[in-house]
Amino acid sequence: MAQQKGIIKLDGTIGGITFYKSQDGYLAREKGGVSGDRIANDPNFQRTRENGEEFGRAGKAGKLLRTSIRALLQNASDSRVVSRLTTEFIKVIQADATNPRGQRNVIDGEAELLQGFEFNISGKLGATLYAPYTATIDRPTGALTVNVPAFVPINMIAAPGGTTHYKIISAGVEVDFENETYIVDENSSAILPWDATATAVLNLANAVTPASTHPLFLVLGVEFYQQVNGQMYPLKNGAFNALALVTVDGN
């Protein structure tokens, strides 16, 4: 893979070289590779087919999880979240010790490996919210809860320039990866001033199906606002908002 330089940027194929635009700029690569028919039928590509099946499974699982919290991701995600989450789901699938290669899946894998995943590299929760909190999943009752003791916002939240207010958000998600369905319950604090006044205790409770047999995910995040003439505006289109998977119970 090579990077295109010069004033004129090409897009297409010329003389066996494919020119294209990506997130990393204008690139070029040599056209070629093994035919799809050979990959699908040649015994020498058995491992390639197995890897492809599991990669596809990881991609679908990542899309389903992202879809379940789409409303939150619209305000807090980076341009590479799709590929990053797919990579993590591949690790989940590879941890499946029950099924043979090519048939490993999320259900029999280790969904807990997703815990700590940051949806926005530009605004990581771990580098944004320093206030201590407890995040718990109670599978029998279906309660996914975040409790944040009182704290001083200006000391315990690293906010981008221009911030006047913030909001803490959460979501409890139950995902049925086999049937590609989900249940999600979102909650949030009020929009609070980012100042030196201690907050009240925050308790964000989210509910899914009691005694569910599906993987459960607890998401926590921070959104930033700027107050102008009494109106609240999302800060910089949410570029620095944080959102992460703080607790996962794969059952």
Structural domain boundaries of the chain? 1-32, 36-249
Q: Read off the pLDDT band of 232 (50, 70, 90).
A: very high
User: Residue 81 corresponds to which tokens in the numbers above?
Assistant: 């979240």
Q: Read off the pLDDT band of 21 (50, 70, 90).
A: confident
The answer to whether residue 141 scores a pLDDT higher than 70 is yes
Tokens 């913030």 sit at which residue? Answer: 166
What pLDDT sits at residue 167? 97
| CA–CA dist 192, 152 (Å, integer) | 11
**Mean pLDDT within 182-194:** 97
| CA–CA dist 232, 195 (Å, integer) | 16
What pLDDT sits at residue 5? 60
The answer to whether residue 20 scores a pLDDT higher than 70 is no
What pLDDT sits at residue 67? 97
User: Residue 213 corresponds to which tokens in the numbers above?
Assistant: 């047999």
What pLDDT sits at residue 43? 59
Q: Read off the pLDDT band of 236 (50, 70, 90).
A: confident
| CA–CA dist 83, 113 (Å, integer) | 16
**Mean pLDDT within 161-174:** 97
Report percent pLDDT > 90 for the chain: 73
- Which of 109, 23, 22, 13 shows the shortest CA–CA distance to 61? 109
CB 155 within 8 A of CB 201: no
| CA–CA dist 18, 29 (Å, integer) | 5
The tens digit of pLDDT for each residue in 25-56 reads: 766 665 656 556 665 556 555 666 767 789 89
The answer to whether residue 212 scores a pLDDT higher than 90 is yes
Q: What does pLDDT average to over the chain?
A: 89
**Mean pLDDT within 130-159:** 98
40 membership: H or E segment, kind and range: helix 36-41
CB 194 within 8 A of CB 164: yes
What pLDDT sits at residue 35? 58
Residues 6 or more apart in contact with residue 172 via CB below 8 angstroms: 137, 143, 144, 184, 185, 206, 207, 208, 216, 217, 218, 219
More confident residue, 101 or 171: 171
The tens digit of pLDDT for each residue in 77-128 reads: 999 999 999 999 999 999 999 999 999 999 999 999 999 999 999 999 999 9
What pLDDT sits at residue 13? 67
What pLDDT sits at residue 36? 63
The answer to whether residue 218 scores a pLDDT higher than 90 is yes
